[in-house]
Structure 1
Amino acid sequence: MREVAFIKQNKEKWLEFERVISNKEKKNPDELADLHIKIMNDLAYAQSFYPKSKVVPYLNKLAKTSYSKVYHTKRVDKNPILYFFFDEVPLLCYRYRKYIYTAFAVFFVFFFVGLLSTFNDESFARQILGDSYVNKTLENIESGDTLAVYKGGSNWGSFIGIFNNNLWVGLKMFLSGLFIGIGTGVYIVYNSIMVAVFQAFFYQQNTLWDSVKGIWIHGTYEIFSMIIESAAGYIIGASILFPGTLKRFESFKTGLRNAFFIFLSTIPFTFIAGFLEGYVTRYSNTMPTIFCYLIILFCLVTISYYYFVLPFQVAKKHGKR
């Protein structure tokens, strides 16, 4: 279809919505939602067949306005914090799911690189973890307390210090996306290799399950959040490199805002990870093993559900495919 025919065919529908948003015409919620879906379809069509046309930014603006109009009452009715965490963020995760999948793919690729490097080079663990940490851990293993490093200091002091450190690491992971995503890539590569080396080192010392039982009580939320934060960094980088039909600065502003919201969603998980490390991990060797694994399983299921399942459920509820 030629552009002129496309505009002529849909012009009345667009004008109708302009009348609705200017309150010159009333529509019930179902009619508004139907109109929003039609406008989104028109925008997708225009982006595919007339990418350089002025009709694309016009429809993009209409689509944003229609979204706000359709879901405004839902925001008002629902607690804004609950709406943010259980509607807005899941919708963003659904929209940017490819970046989240990419972040996990990068993490696991370099995790296996770290494993192979550790198993094939005896000095690799010391290069990554440092001589001081390796020597101290070897002393702890010999004394029969593999995870003694997690028992230093008070519960409260450890919790605050760990939370601040993890939050700072996540913030750097996110903000490094400003360097067109390269900075984020460097951080996630290093951290994924470090996690792998850490586990491989304990395996070599025949204390793998002791480390898994203790470390992943807090590490499940901590590492999962780190990967999501790296995905947020990739979103920023992509918004700079691939603006699509938007102006580059507009694309960057949108990408930065959306990535920041996704980053904010990781903070509660980071907070809980700090609490678990400060108050629970230190007692892992005295707790029943099954209890330790239940905590790990609970953490893995809840955070996986939030970032992998809930986005599809919320998107479906909002009429997205």
Structure 2
Amino acid sequence: MREVSFIKQNKEKWLSFERAVFNNDFENPDELASQYIHLINDLAYAQTYYPKSKVIIYLNQLAAKAFQKIYKTKREDTNRIIGFWKTEVPLICYQYRKFIYIAFIIFFAFTFIGVISAANDGEFVRSVLGDNYVNMSIENIEAGDPVAVYKSGSNWGSFIGITINNLRVGIIAFVLGVFLGIGTLYIMFKNCIMLGSFQYFFYEKGVLWESVRGIWIHGAMEIFAIVIEAAAGLILGASILFPATHSRYTSFKQGAKTGIKILISTFPFTFSAGFLEGFITRYSNIMPNWLSTGIILITLSIISYYYLIYPFKIQKEITQPQTISSILN
């Protein structure tokens, strides 16, 4: 058989197997193993009759990848939780990265609106944060401890209460995405306006840096996680608005499944932020600047890397170096 005929005869089979291997699109390991045997037979045939062909390189790479999939399946099943955060979520974030970018654009826009509103209306901060909170903050500033509010309550009590509240906000931001994403936008608007006016309030009082080095010790992960949770809500809303070639119900189920995975992925960061707020932030005023700044930069770097950089790394690792199209050309 001529090489061209051999390739054309098996092309669809190889492409199907390639998709199954690189996209994890197979029902069970036995199915993959069965296709693997056929692939090995094709490889042996090619090595015998076309020893200098590029098709041997392609089949070798595909066989190696399949081998890893087959013999790692059981171990991956036992490490499902690790695989979820290590591979599955990053790949989802890569696929839906535009929603994450949109969520951040909206976050900065709404926060900026909060800053501008507070700067142009002396009563805006009180209308957003409430008189009691503003008065308490003024008293703390005058006493020389702008973020004294984070010292109230016990360490564990603060950690648990704050974490539950942040989880609640994130879940609501996602769930309200079912209203075509409008509910998610409302939650973002509400919280970003508060954040912008809150930070401007401290700027106006001349203690912006003191507030930053205290609040953002836990806020870097806390706020970042909420933005990611909002992105999950936008994905849910978009799945209803733009079903593409699927039925609206099927698209919604897929959007909900994807959004829930992203939502769950933020929980460790939310717990970490709660821990920092309950146990570390209360000591920010007696920390050296390098320590508080270091904590902020480290926590921000960790969560930024996971959601903005790591997905590209994982995507690159699973991208096959040789494809069937390159052989035919």
- Counterpart Cα distance in 2 of 1:320 and 1:276: 41
Q: Which structure would you say has the larger Rg? A: 2
Residue of structure 1 equivalent to 2:218: 218
- Counterpart Cα distance in 1 of 2:133 and 2:9: 67
Shift of 1:180: 1.1
Residue of structure 1 equivalent to 2:163: 163
1:309 aligned partner, one-letter code: I
Residue of structure 1 equivalent to 2:12: 13
Residue of structure 2 equivalent to 1:181: 181
SS at match of 1:172: helix
Deviation string for 1:120-166 (max 9, x for gaps)? 11011011111110011101111112111111111011100000010
Question: Given the two structures, how large is their TM-score scaled by the length of structure 1?
Answer: 0.81
Judged with a 3 Å threshold, the aligned counterparts in structure 2 of structure 1 residues 207 and 77 are, in CA distance, closer, same or farther, namely: same
- Counterpart Cα distance in 2 of 1:208 and 1:22: 59
Matches within 5 A, 1:97-246: 97-246=97-246
- Unaligned residue ranges in structure 1 (runs of 5+): 1-8, 38-65
Pair 1:279-2:279 in alignment: yes
Pair 1:315-2:315 in alignment: yes
- Counterpart Cα distance in 1 of 2:72 and 2:311: 17
Shift of 1:77: 3.1
CA contact (8 A) 1:32 1:70 kept: no
Judged with a 3 Å threshold, the aligned counterparts in structure 2 of structure 1 residues 21 and 128 are, in CA distance, closer, same or farther, namely: same
CA contact (8 A) 1:75 1:83 kept: no
Shift of 1:73: 5.1
2:255 aligned partner, one-letter code: G
Deviation string for 1:161-193 (max 9, x for gaps)? 000010011100111111111100111111111
Judged with a 3 Å threshold, the aligned counterparts in structure 2 of structure 1 residues 268 and 13 are, in CA distance, closer, same or farther, namely: same
Question: Given the two structures, how large is their TM-score scaled by the length of structure 2?
Answer: 0.79
- Counterpart Cα distance in 2 of 1:320 and 1:111: 41
Deviation string for 1:216-274 (max 9, x for gaps)? 00000000000000000000001111111111111111111111001111000000000
Shift of 1:76: 3.4
Judged with a 3 Å threshold, the aligned counterparts in structure 2 of structure 1 residues 133 and 32 are, in CA distance, closer, same or farther, namely: farther
- Aligned pairs, number: 282
Residue of structure 2 equivalent to 1:300: 300
SS at match of 1:122: coil
Residue of structure 2 equivalent to 1:268: 268
Identity, % of aligned positions: 49
- Unaligned residue ranges in structure 2 (runs of 5+): 1-7, 18-25, 44-57, 322-329
1:203 aligned partner, one-letter code: Y
Shift of 1:15: 9.2
